[in-house]
A = this chain, B = another copy of it.
Amino acid sequence: MNTNVVLDLAKLRRRCAQCSLHQLCLPAGIGHDDLDQLDAIVRRRRPLTRSERLYRIGDPMNALYVAREGSFKTVAINSDGEEQIIGFHLPGELMGLDALGSGRHRCEAEALGPTQVCEVPIESLEEVIHAIPGLSAQILRVIGRSVARDQDHLEMLGRRQAQERIAMFLHGLSERFRVLGHPSAEFSLPMSREDIARFLGLVIETVSRGFTRLQDEGVIKVRGRQLRILDPRQLETMALGSPDAPREQVCPRSA
């Protein structure tokens, strides 16, 4: 596995301009010259494998991170030692914002499988912002999408029916795969049932039963972590609430 060809590919991969994610990572409007400047600052870390951590609770903030391969979970741990999943991070999605406020991380970032990660050292961040015109707007946008994912999560957790949360979760995940350019109707779940449960504020049995029920209803096909969405329309309806409402009656919505 160490032929020249592989090395060349590895080298190509190192370049932001060649990265399949650079449209997502820093969407729209970065020129090639600027990408070269970025290359000088973005660091590539050694690969991580499953259960290795990018940072831990209490670590000082060193950088912002984006996986270009593989997925992560961020985990908060309360004083009981109980874990709560704060977020899942697919390739191209930002990690590390949790330390922006205090300078120290509030979460652990743990790899769900083999990963490759890029980082922007925090001390470079400010100078990058000033060096590359327009970059600050891009960075704000990436931050904004991270905030938006947190808000999606809040909306899931605000639902009081377990089945709704599960439907929203699968729908949202599918959407994120679609944006990534991956198949969105059939994919492999990067995380365990346990992780899903702790993400949704449920117990593992409830998640399992929810999946089974969606399968019995013909909405999905699930076997282990392999998932196929058979009826995306129906899933969306369950996730977003009813556009045309087989749901509970509603008095003619005023306003």
Contact = CB atoms under 8 A, between A and B. Distances in A.
A3 interface: no
Contacts of A245: 79-80
Nearest to A140: B100
A14 interface: no
Interface string A58-100: 0000000000000000001011111011100000000001111
A181 interface: no
A172 interface: no
A201 B99 CA distance: 26
A114 interface: no
Contact of A201 (B81, B98, B125, B159): B159
Interface stretch (A42-50, A101-109, A215-223): A101-109
Given A136-B126, A151-B150, A78 B240 contact: yes
A141 interface: yes
A106 B240 contact: no
Interface in A217-255: 240-243, 245, 247, 250-251, 253-254
Contact of A145 (B82, B101, B143): B101
A100 B158 contact: no
A24 interface: no
Contacts of A98: 144, 147-148, 151
Interface residues of A, number: 56
Contacts of A137: 126
Nearest to A82: B241
Interface string A141-181: 10111111011011101111000000000000000000000
A198 interface: yes
A136 B141 CA distance: 14
A130 interface: yes
A7 interface: no
Given A84-B154, A129-B129, A147 B241 contact: no
B154 A101 contact: no
Interface of A: 76, 78-82, 84-86, 97-104, 106-107, 125-126, 129-130, 136-137, 140-141, 143-148, 150-151, 153-155, 157-160, 198, 201-203, 240-243, 245, 247, 250-251, 253-254
